[in-house]
Structure 1
Amino acid sequence: MTAKVFRLVFTGAASALMLAGCASISPGSTGSSASTADTPSLATASAVDCQAFAKRMGAYAAAQVAAEQRAAGGEVAPAAPSDPLAAASARAAEADAGDDGEDAADEPQTRATLPLFSVAPRDGRLPIGWQPWTINRNKTPTRYSIVEVDQRVVVHAQAESSASGLYVPLHDRDAGMVRWSWKTSGIIRNADNSHGPREDSPLRLFVAFDGDKGSLPLKDQLMYEMARLTTGREMPYATLMYIWGGKRAEGSVVANPHTDRVRMIVVDSGTKHANEWRCHERDLRADYRKAFGTDPGRVIAVGIMTDTDNTRSNAESWYGDIALD
């Protein structure tokens, strides 16, 4: 895929989400058609101890910063990270720092790793590599900025009847683990992720996958072509998103009724953990199999979004570092 396709990939998925809301998948459903059922399919729980999570992510961040300094010719401590996640971060950061980016002025460059929020300048600007994701020019965008809160540097999302996101186009990579932390001040009380006109969420994390679109049912191929013709944007083969839901139970799998190519997994729900940091580790391959019933293709992009446009409400949330390995 070209960098241009990567830049458009999430907006194409958002175009499908804008067509209508979502319907829950019936237990054990792995077919090509989404269906509505009273009892949704459930994925495994993913919340982990945030203290242990913070230590591991700290090592990951240190390894990434050290690798970038080495690639830039700076002096760093010679010790190599012992944590496999940190080691993977170091290798990826060196690859990113060594990329000359011939068309950087025109297109966002794909990256080997996700830029960390925790090492961003304290001036409110987002780390280089995170791209704005506009869903619709007629929609008010959500405001994103870098802030320091709870003794950590994170992304602050403020939505007021708005919808937009941030994303990073990635070098094609295998589906492994994804790790992140997030917090919200509260749920969107009138939101319902199973109903299009009220399908909003204070927190979303997206992962886009490549695949053979020619193998999909004709109706899906026609949908892709319609999206390309009407918006000029390519949709990813499949998009998996993790959300903080208001009504659905944790582990619920939710699908868009107009396209089987977008599925959601509720990893946090309700107000029990509002104003608390929640830390998650998810197996992308297992979750993709649960949501789509097949093995995933290569991961091509990751993004975040806080949206309140459908419910015309407000939300305030925070995103910590996101790591892939």
Structure 2
Amino acid sequence: MPNLLKTSLLAVALCAQTASAGPIGFGDWRQHWFARFADVDFTYAANALSVQANGAVSITYRLLDPQNWGATSARWSWSVDQSVPKTDLRQKGGDDRNLALCFAFLPKAEAERVKGGRNLRRLLKNPNGRVLVYVWGGDHGRGAVLASPYLGARGKTVVLRPSGTGGHAERVDLAADYRRAFGSEPGALVALAVSADSDDTNTVARGRIADLELK
């Protein structure tokens, strides 16, 4: 096949993949294995997820279909009604936060190889995986990029809001933030996760994420 035709077909495929990304509902998310007994209440709706962490930590997630792998940006709205205190998000065991929205990536070839057999535990342990964690919490300025105390070089925390209450709409450039965090181009966006964490301060975090959309 001529190189020009190959290039054209690849461009069409990438455009179709990106164009098919769109709203992400919460009706089919599931709680992660490690925290299934934690005192965190997730309330799932078609377009919104409510979370209350009662001195506990837990995570819920959704694996994405290939039609979403090419997403390069995201937007959502979120609110916090009850906040944990300000913490140091770089400190393992002292990094409580109200809400975190995680975007997990794999190289495209690796995503194709493990397609159908993926779960969140394996994704987080995959040495080729990378995770951007957008956080409402901590005692850091907006836009700060911090090393993850749990994921090492495979994860970076991006602070969007310090600890506190209120409501905001967010729009993030996943590709630009990935380059800034990891120094390379992102692979396939294969999973999303939401967590709330209040176990270190033994407080209550109560919030909501809604109208999540990938582009």
For 1:156, give the aligned amino acid: S
| Structure 1 residues 140 and 323: alpha-carbon distance in aligned structure 2, compared to 1, 3 A threshold | same
Larger RCO (alpha carbons 8 Å, 6+ apart): 2
1:311 aligns with 2:201: yes
Structure 1 partner of 2:25? 116
State the partner residue of 1:204: 100
Q: Does 1:249 align with 2:141?
A: yes
Deviation at 1:189, TM superposition (A): 1.0
Q: CA deviation at 1:314?
A: 1.1
- C-alpha displacement of 1:269: 1.6
Asked whether 1:320 is paired with 2:182, we answer: no
1:324 partner letter? L
2:32 equivalent to 1:133 = yes
Question: What is the rounded CA distance, in whole Å, between the counterparts of 1:178 and 1:297 in structure 2?
Answer: 15
Whichever residue aligns with residue 295 of structure 1, its letter is E
CA–CA distance in structure 1, aligned partners of residues 42 and 85 of structure 2: 22
User: Is 1:266 paired with 2:159?
Assistant: yes
The answer to whether the Cα contact below 8 Å between 1:209 and 1:238 also exists between their aligned partners in 2 is yes
**Matches of 1:190 and 1:136, distance apart in 2:** 23
Superimposed CA distance per residue, residues 88-120 of structure 1 (whole angstroms, 9 cap, x where no aligned partner)? 89x74xxxxxxxxxxxxxxxxxxx765425xxx
Taking structure 2 as the reference length, the TM-score comes to 0.74
The number of aligned residues is: 183
Q: Distance in 1 between matches of 2:24 and 2:107?
A: 25
Query: In structure 1, what is the Cα distance between the partners aligned to 2:84 and 2:195?
Result: 14
2:84 touches 2:163 (CA, 8 Å); kept in 1? no
> Is the contact between residue 134 and residue 164 of structure 1 (CA under 8 Å) also seen in structure 2?
no
| Rounded Cα–Cα distance in structure 2 between residues aligned with 1:113 and 1:130 | 16
Gaps of 5+ in 2: 1-15, 111-120
Does the 8 Å contact 1:190/1:311 carry over to 2?
no
Residue 192 of structure 2 is aligned with which of 298, 302, 310? 302
Q: Which has the larger radius of gyration?
A: 1
Q: Distance in 1 between matches of 2:39 and 2:63?
A: 20
What runs of 5+ residues in structure 1 fail to find an aligned partner? 1-87, 93-111, 118-126, 215-231
Q: 2:48 aligns with which of 154, 161, 165?
A: 154
2:93 is paired with a residue whose SS is: helix
Q: C-alpha distance in 2, partners of 1:213/1:162? A: 36
Cα distance between partner residues in 1 of 2:144 and 2:109? 26
* Paired residue secondary structure (1:281): strand
Q: How does 1:171-250 map to 2 (within 5 A)?
A: 171-172=65-66, 173-211=69-107, 233-234=122-123, 235-236=125-126, 237-250=129-142
- Residues 29-80 of structure 1 show CA distances to partners (whole Å, capped at 9, x for unaligned) of xxxxxxxxxxxxxxxxxxxxxxxxxxxxxxxxxxxxxxxxxxxxxxxxxxxx
Task: Give the corresponding residue for 2:182.
Answer: 292
Measure how far apart 1:246 and its partner are. Answer: 2.7
1:320 & 1:300 partners in 2: Cα distance? Answer: 20
Q: Cα distance 1:315–1:208, how it changes in 2: closer, same or farther (>3 A)? A: same
The answer to whether the 8 A contact 1:175-1:297 is kept is no
Q: Does the 8 Å contact 2:38/2:57 carry over to 1?
A: yes
Q: Which amino acid in the other structure matches residue 63 of structure 2?
A: P
Q: Distance in 2 between matches of 1:134 and 1:310?
A: 20
Please state whether the residue corresponding to 1:291 is helix, strand or coil.
helix
Amino acid corresponding to residue 154 of structure 2 in structure 1: R
SS in 2 for 1:198: coil
1:163 maps to a residue whose letter is V
Task: Tell me the alpha carbon deviations over residues 171-208 of structure 1, each in whole angstroms, 9 at most, x when there is no partner.
Answer: 23124111111001243115321211211110110000
| TM-score normalized by the length of structure 1 | 0.51
**Larger relative strand fraction:** 2
1:163 is displaced (CA, Å) by 1.4
Query: What's the Cα RMSD here?
Result: 2.8
CA contact (8 A) 1:155 1:320 kept: yes
Quote the Cα distance in structure 1 between the aligned partners of 2:155 and 2:135. Answer: 13
